[in-house]
A = this chain, B = another copy of it.
């Protein structure tokens, strides 16, 4: 079967995909139409049970590892080959939506169901993954399951993490029946693909259906303290003030300016800012704030870091305030596998789906996977770019389109994956 034939013949069932998403969304449904299914809660357990049931119906063999990641395996013709994987997460934010994470799992499930329905065997095995605790809303660190799987986090550290009520990941995994026996990170990985709503407004603004995600932005987080002099707002003339907030407000603009100098992939955000002593008639003596700088290119991000230090120091000096600028975290930009992105691009083209290259600014399990394995993502639009919100929404036809691209890309990889990786061109596709 060549690619052209597969396109016309083999497509996922968009209605079934939508129905499964809506069925899953009943578990932990919120009054405003969202989902509250926190990681390792009883509701997460119910969600896992529901999806694992569907995975079994689709003929998948279930494996659970010690951090609770679930792997549904579909054997291939040659089971010595490393599997082509897909997946995402089904835990949500406390006031999350129905699509973030769930869509990636349901799209993968739909791929499996479609192959089963059509009796198609792939050369390499396929696996569908539900990662544990991607959101980090209840337990830190975020993207826990994929982080332990790829060796970024130690298993025991993750198992010992506790929520605000003092409950541990270890105990809560056991409580919902997902404390697996399989050692974490021991599974072979041929390739990893993840479908996801964009969680941003670009596809919608550009009127595209498929985002070919070529990598993730690097992120530098900082904590900043600006110390001026607390003084009475009335008796203190403007000229002698050391107004920490006035200086900080220039710094906020500098952060945004540094990102604006590096468009389209620069990001600069001050998300938290607090003023002391916070009295209506007192010139602020101290301001604490955070900075989030992102760029897809590590060298550019480093340049932004240097600009940040220099511009903030200038502003502090000009205002006679003290500056304490500390880097809190650094996650380097992570490029995705170009061969996988090429498969996504080829599928969108073949199906006539308007597509564009983009990067992911948000963290995803795929970013962890990409640090150790060939990985890529497929984005579909979400309404107004809104996510982590009960009003999160996406159009059924977009979700269907993304799942079809996932199907094509997985088949392209699993069919004859050695060649697909080498050429990263359309020729590699017609060989399943």
Encode contact with B along A265-304: 1 for CB under 8 Å, 0 otherwise: 0111111111100111111100000101010000000000
Q: Which residues of B contact A362 (CB under 8 A)?
A: 232, 234-235
Q: A249-B253, A385-B240 are in contact. Are A361 and B272 (CB under 8 A)?
A: no
B292 touches A281 (CB 8 A): yes
Q: Which residues of B contact A240 (CB under 8 A)?
A: 201, 205, 385
B233 touches A245 (CB 8 A): no
Q: How far is the CA of A389 from the CA of B249 in the complex (A)?
A: 26
A27 at the interface (CB under 8 A from B): no
- Interface size range of chain A in the complex: 35 or more
CB distance from A82 to the nearest CB of B (A): 30
Q: Which residues of B contact A271 (CB under 8 A)?
A: 233, 245, 275, 278-284
Q: A245-B252, A250-B249, A252-B249 are in contact. Are A280 and B221 (CB under 8 A)?
A: yes
B385 touches A236 (CB 8 A): yes
Checking B236, B248, B249, B279 against A361 with a beta-carbon cut-off of 8 angstroms, the contacting residue is B236
Binds B, one of A12-20, A64-72, A255-263: A255-263
Q: A292-B233, A360-B235, A361-B233 are in contact. Are A273 and B275 (CB under 8 A)?
A: yes
Q: How far is the CA of A200 from the CA of B240 in the complex (A)?
A: 10
Q: How far is the CA of A221 from the CA of B233 in the complex (A)?
A: 11
A272 touches B275 (CB 8 A): yes
Q: Which B residue's beta carbon lies closest to that of A361?
A: B234
Best-surrounded residue of A219, A271, A294 (most CB of chain B within 10 A): A271
Q: A238-B266, A267-B238 are in contact. Are A232 and B388 (CB under 8 A)?
A: yes
A199 at the interface (CB under 8 A from B): yes
A165 at the interface (CB under 8 A from B): no
A176 at the interface (CB under 8 A from B): no
A172 at the interface (CB under 8 A from B): no
CB distance from A260 to the nearest CB of B (A): 5
B256 touches A269 (CB 8 A): no
Q: Which residues of B contact A238 (CB under 8 A)?
A: 256, 259-260, 263, 266-268
Q: Which residues of B contact A267 (CB under 8 A)?
A: 233-234, 236-238
Encode contact with B along A218-234: 1 for CB under 8 Å, 0 otherwise: 01010000000001111
Q: Which residues of B contact A393 (CB under 8 A)?
A: none
B237 touches A264 (CB 8 A): yes
Encode contact with B along A183-219: 1 for CB under 8 Å, 0 otherwise: 0000000000000001111100100000000000101
Q: Which B residue's beta carbon lies closest to that of A251?
A: B249
Q: How far is the CA of A231 from the CA of B292 in the complex (A)?
A: 13
Q: How far is the CA of A259 from the CA of B234 in the complex (A)?
A: 12
Q: Which residues of B contact A245 (CB under 8 A)?
A: 252, 270-271, 273
A272 touches B266 (CB 8 A): no
A387 touches B232 (CB 8 A): yes
Q: How far is the CA of A385 from the CA of B259 in the complex (A)?
A: 40
Q: How far is the CA of A221 from the CA of B279 in the complex (A)?
A: 12
Q: Which residues of B contact A426 (CB under 8 A)?
A: none
A246 at the interface (CB under 8 A from B): yes
A1 at the interface (CB under 8 A from B): no
A243 at the interface (CB under 8 A from B): yes
Checking B219, B234, B260 against A363 with a beta-carbon cut-off of 8 angstroms, the contacting residue is B234
Q: How far is the CA of A199 from the CA of B290 in the complex (A)?
A: 33
Checking B200, B237, B243, B386 against A256 with a beta-carbon cut-off of 8 angstroms, the contacting residue is B243
Checking B200, B268, B280 against A290 with a beta-carbon cut-off of 8 angstroms, the contacting residue is B280
Q: List 13 A-B contacts (CB under 8 A).
A: A200-B234, A202-B237, A219-B234, A234-B294, A234-B360, A234-B363, A236-B267, A236-B385, A238-B259, A248-B249, A249-B252, A271-B282, A273-B273
With contacts A236-B267, A246-B256 known, what are 7 further pairs, Cβ within 8 A? A199-B234, A232-B362, A232-B387, A238-B268, A243-B269, A248-B249, A271-B283
6 pairs of A and B residues whose beta carbons are closest in the complex: A234-B361, A200-B235, A249-B249, A233-B269, A235-B361, A249-B252
- Interface, chain A (partner B; CB < 8 A): 198-202, 205, 217, 219, 221, 231-240, 243, 245-246, 248-250, 252-253, 256, 259-260, 263-264, 266-275, 278-284, 290, 292, 294, 360-363, 385-388
